[in-house]
Structure 1
Amino acid sequence: MNFAGKRVLIMGLGLQGGGVGVARFFAQKKAKVLVTDLKTKKELASSLALLADLPITYVLGKHREVDFKNTDLVIRNPDVARDSPYLAIARRYGALVEMDESLFLRLCPSLKNVIGVTGTRGKTTTAHLIGKIFGKAGYHTLLGGNLPGVATLSLLDKITSKTRVVLELSSWQLQGLEADKISPHIAVITNIYPDHLNRYKNMGDYIADKKIIFKYQKKEDFLVLNAENKITKSFAKEAKSKIIWFCKSDVPGTIRTSFKLRGSHNLENLAAACMTAKIFKIDDKICQKATSEFYGIPYRLEEIRTVNGVTYVNDTTSTTPVASLAALRSYEGRPIILIAGGASKNLDLTELGQEISKKVKAVILLEGSATSELEKAITAKKLILGRFNNFKKAILTAKNKAVPGDVVLLSPGCASFGMFKNEFDRGEQFNNVVFSLKTKTS
């Protein structure tokens, strides 16, 4: 597809780098690029700086109807609702509305080379594990989709006939595949749990978007499913493709013992990656070598530093209670000072509150729309050291409570909005404070 001279409107630049990559892709293809975002120039300063060398027009702090009436193509950011009235205007005036990933799949030289990974938890880790295995097996491997700093369209110029593309796909990104009736050749679903109910009307709508990853597969395609998750098990009867099941017990002992990530949930991720490799007849020895060299992804149970015998763990991407539960269980037997709470996603926090009451030495709560509910769910009130709207004070309170052997665990179980720009901002601030802590001298 030739984009030279085409009017391309990018709806939502964002701060994670994906929008920047999309804007750069179209500008370099000689399209007439207009970026519109409800955030202001000041709020988007870091993203705008990365595009300063390109001829791009900006409409910031607002959207204008006229821009949507006079464009050939709209690229929708995942944070933009699919029923946005501006998108309806664009369609009414003849524009094509796509997302980064949907247009990529339309233009990809071979869908047979694409592996899509989704799920409520574990999709990032699983996508990276698959990428490591395929790379070790000698394939030219590219990762894209729901990854900070990566525009999936930018991968098009790097693909060869031997390339394997691994896409992490959120429910919002999967929405974009619906209009084109397209699913990846290999679809991997790690698990499904309640999530994003602040944006979805109900769990059924959320699951429906997740199912798009296999909805348009054909009989020669593959669907890799978690045999230990009730919801993913139910998908098998709807699939037209070949079903490949995975569970933790599938992981060979040699691979399991050399795997470095904590937690039962990470064994599930490992199992999903290994079963995906089997579709391509990749030997277990290659899987073992690749996964033994995998040290995890930033902001996911990431052990940042040990200071004065206290281990500081950054699990900021834990934005659901099920993720925080997995984090707590990953440090079973260690005294935990938990930093939790934040913005609501309309998820039930009861079980998390009960587990906190049983498993932690102390808990520090970050202010947000979900925090009162979480505080109420924590039955052992004496564990609560306070509620904080100053993150540094919260971390220092944890530090002052900790003794050698303790774990200070940032695993909020809630969204970040309010106190932070996003969960990555929350994670970066945590790291900055932890790295500023002084080591005691004897």
Structure 2
Amino acid sequence: MYTPRTDSISGKKVTVMGLGLNGGGLASARFFAQLGAMVTVTDTRDETILKPSIEALAGLPIRFVLGRHELADFSSADLVIKNPAVRPDSEYLRAAARVETDLSVFLTFCTAPIVAITGSKGKSTTASATAHALNVCGIKTHLGGNITRSPLDFIDEVKPSDRVVLELSSWQLGDLKGRGLLKPLAAVLTRIVPDHQDRYGNMEAYVADKRLIYADQESENWTICDVEDEYGQSFASETRGSVLWYGNKLPTDGFGIRILPDSSCIARLPGRDDAEILPARIKLPGAHNRRNLAAAAAAAWCAGANPAELGQALAGFGGVEHRLEVFAEY
């Protein structure tokens, strides 16, 4: 990968908080250990539960502290990598000199354009469909984030000419607040419904973290909003990015992807005549997935895909594993 100075990491004391069985902890530990950092991995779960992850890190010079956290591992570290599920007011994080996440580390070094996708429902399908369409259209694209693959897993493969699609949770976005690291070429917001209220306490706080996906965008970037979602209207009114809509009826003077009564989708895009961008017949079942693919079509166009190729690419998308998969036909 084409990056700034990763050699500054060698010799640093790095504590990874939360190893887990997939995602950021494992990828972070591997990334920093391979760059010569002195890595400590700490997790409240024991080695029996974490055995697959420990085995995946075999051969790397990593110190494990399992079944507990020790405050000294945080206070003495040059850098702590936190899991997004860890609340920011943790006593261990308060003891740390510097706190990052796998996502903030990736964004620091990534030079490829990014499509970022968040929402309450549909973000995994939309992110996966966007990455699928871009790859089918000949644009090398990497998919990661909340979809269980840390972008640090593919950081060495990314070139400036590639695209990166990141599915982002509200927690991941909250960890980036005020950092100025996330400036996506396209920011997609899927349908917003109440979620994670045990952590946030109210919808306003939850949605505030969602808004961070476009907080640092500029006019040359795109913000893609659901025209029928009340929050979509709010997002569009405050972003500095240029707005694309998706839904059943586009604003008179707006651009985006319109879903027709026959379920096909028409694209109204800047500098182009209206044209079909998604046929009525697709592999994914459900009106909600039609809406997800409309958002994906807009995102893929923003990332450089040819609209004439997007219909076939998206119609052939088979969906996310374990979600409304077709396993037999009679």
TM-score bracket relative to the smaller structure: 0.7 to 0.9
1: CA distance between counterparts of 2:313 and 2:163? 16
Paired position in structure 2 for 1:434: none
Paired position in structure 1 for 2:160: 161
2: CA distance between counterparts of 1:259 and 1:158? 31
Question: Unpaired runs of 5+ in structure 2?
Answer: 1-5, 249-257, 260-264, 267-275
Paired position in structure 1 for 2:211: 211
Paired position in structure 1 for 2:78: 72
Q: Which has the higher contact order (CA 8 A, sep 6+)?
A: 2
Q: CA deviation at 1:264?
A: 1.0
* Structural mapping, 1:288-367, within 5 Å: 288-304=311-327
- Of the three residues 17, 29, 40, the one matched with 2:35 is 29
Assess if the C-alpha contact under 8 Å between 1:126 and 1:270 holds in 2: yes
Assess if the C-alpha contact under 8 Å between 1:37 and 1:63 holds in 2: yes
Paired position in structure 1 for 2:228: 228
Paired position in structure 2 for 1:437: none
Paired position in structure 2 for 1:16: 22
Assess if the C-alpha contact under 8 Å between 1:196 and 1:206 holds in 2: yes
Assess if the C-alpha contact under 8 Å between 1:182 and 1:217 holds in 2: no
Say which SS state the counterpart of residue 219 (structure 1) adopts: coil
Deviations along 1:48-72, whole A, 9 cap, x unmatched? 1211222111111111111111111
Q: CA deviation at 1:96?
A: 1.9
Say which SS state the counterpart of residue 80 (structure 2) adopts: strand
Whichever residue aligns with residue 271 of structure 1, its letter is A
1:263 is aligned to 2:262? no
Paired position in structure 1 for 2:93: 87
Out of 14-23 and 168-177, give the one that drifted further.
14-23
2: CA distance between counterparts of 1:24 and 1:212? 28
Q: CA deviation at 1:25?
A: 1.2
1: CA distance between counterparts of 2:155 and 2:21? 22
Paired position in structure 1 for 2:3: none
2: CA distance between counterparts of 1:199 and 1:264? 30
Q: CA deviation at 1:280?
A: 4.4
Assess if the C-alpha contact under 8 Å between 2:24 and 2:152 holds in 1: no
Q: Please report the TM-score for the alignment, with normalisation by the length of structure 1.
A: 0.65
1: CA distance between counterparts of 2:292 and 2:56? 34
Whichever residue aligns with residue 199 of structure 1, its letter is R
Question: Unpaired runs of 5+ in structure 1?
Answer: 310-442
- Structure showing the higher helix proportion among its residues: 1
Say which SS state the counterpart of residue 191 (structure 1) adopts: coil
1: CA distance between counterparts of 2:68 and 2:139? 44
* Structural mapping, 1:33-52, within 5 Å: 33-52=39-58
Sort the Cα spacing of 1:55 and 1:220 in 2 relative to 1 into closer, same or farther, 3 A. same
Say which SS state the counterpart of residue 177 (structure 1) adopts: coil
Paired position in structure 2 for 1:424: none
Report the number of matched residues. Answer: 300
Paired position in structure 2 for 1:274: 297
Say which SS state the counterpart of residue 14 (structure 2) adopts: strand
2: CA distance between counterparts of 1:292 and 1:305? 19
Whichever residue aligns with residue 102 of structure 1, its letter is S
2: CA distance between counterparts of 1:17 and 1:236? 31
2: CA distance between counterparts of 1:213 and 1:132? 21
Whichever residue aligns with residue 16 of structure 2, its letter is I
Paired position in structure 1 for 2:196: 196
Paired position in structure 1 for 2:116: 116
2: CA distance between counterparts of 1:169 and 1:98? 16
Deviations along 1:112-154, whole A, 9 cap, x unmatched? x111011101111111111111112211111111122x22123
Q: CA deviation at 1:258?
A: 3.4
Deviations along 1:231-266, whole A, 9 cap, x unmatched? 122111211111111115342467232311111110
Sort the Cα spacing of 1:152 and 1:222 in 2 relative to 1 into closer, same or farther, 3 A. same
Assess if the C-alpha contact under 8 Å between 2:277 and 2:297 holds in 1: no
Q: Please report the TM-score for the alignment, with normalisation by the length of structure 2.
A: 0.86
Q: CA deviation at 1:269?
A: 0.6
Larger radius of gyration: 1
Q: CA-atom RMSD, angstroms?
A: 1.8
